[in-house]
Amino acid sequence: MIGFVNLFKSAGPSSAQAVARVRRIYALQTGERDLAAGHLGTLDPQAAGVLPVAVGKATRLIPLLPNQRKSYACTLVLGRSTTTQDAHGETVAQVPVPPNWPALLEETLPSFVGRIAQTPPMFSAAHHQGKRLYELARAGKSVERKVRKVTIYGLSLLGIERPNVARLRIACSEGTYVRTLCHDLGASLEIPAHMGALLREGSGPFVLYEARTIDEIAAEPQLALIAPEYIIPFPTIVLDLRGSADFRAGRVVPLPEGATGKHVFVRDESRTLVGVGEALGALLAPRKVFV
């Protein structure tokens, strides 16, 4: 089995728990007890939305995926900062919110668009000396974190809720911490802040309106499975019986005429996906082979 699933993860389960449920669905369907599955970018337990999942041999294609831009909608809550930078953390600071904060926020938003620096929060899955930061944080430890550069492609104010809550839409590069963005927006306004609700609306080619719930996937697993060609923009070539046999054996084969692109999906005469090849002049070298 090979393919991707556009899962709608509800708030509550972790990304790993959601992937495990998807894996069980397809393992039961195929009878493969050791079926592989993996997600393409962690979504925090309290967050909902798009969680792309690679199923079966598609997990081997994850390194070939292009840069996965993300899009989110979230709420920014002003007046209180927390240890986790979201609503579930302990209060660090709490102050009254000035009445003119919406105007101040609108003035500040453009300064966060473009290439910006972020420090990963202690309650995150980033690594420090072989351990997850959240493991250290739960043990009461705080360590120096390396500042990373991320890109905010778009940041807009969708509306105001209640006296201290704003709704935002964010388009950003992978690796962006939305809760850190909310915290830093508050710091720029000199008002403690944290992220409230979070909805991932898109991750690369996976979009919210096409996402399926666990129940929908379980009801029609084959319909939920997306072929790799729809996710990774490589052209597809078809090899004859001898060519596909050589390719499967890891041997270089002649590149069919008219083939374009550095990498191509390779299918045999029965249209079974046999792997990914790399064009080397007039030859095609196997890079990923699905035996």
Catalytic annotation, pick one of 44, 86, 184, 268: 44
| Token pair recorded at residue 71 | 């899009």
- Contacts of residue 64, defined as CB under 8 A and 6 or more positions apart, other chains included, come to 232, 234, 263, 276, 288
86 has catalytic annotation: no
Give the whole-angstrom CA distance, residue 136 versus residue 123: 8
Strands (E), 34-109: 37-39, 48-56, 70-78, 80-82, 91-94
* Angle formed at CA 290 by CA 284 and CA 291, multiple of 5 degrees: 110
Q: What is the DSSP letter of 212?
A: B
What is the greatest pairwise CA distance in the chain?
74
Give the whole-angstrom CA distance, residue 100 versus residue 112: 20
Give catalytic residue positions.
44
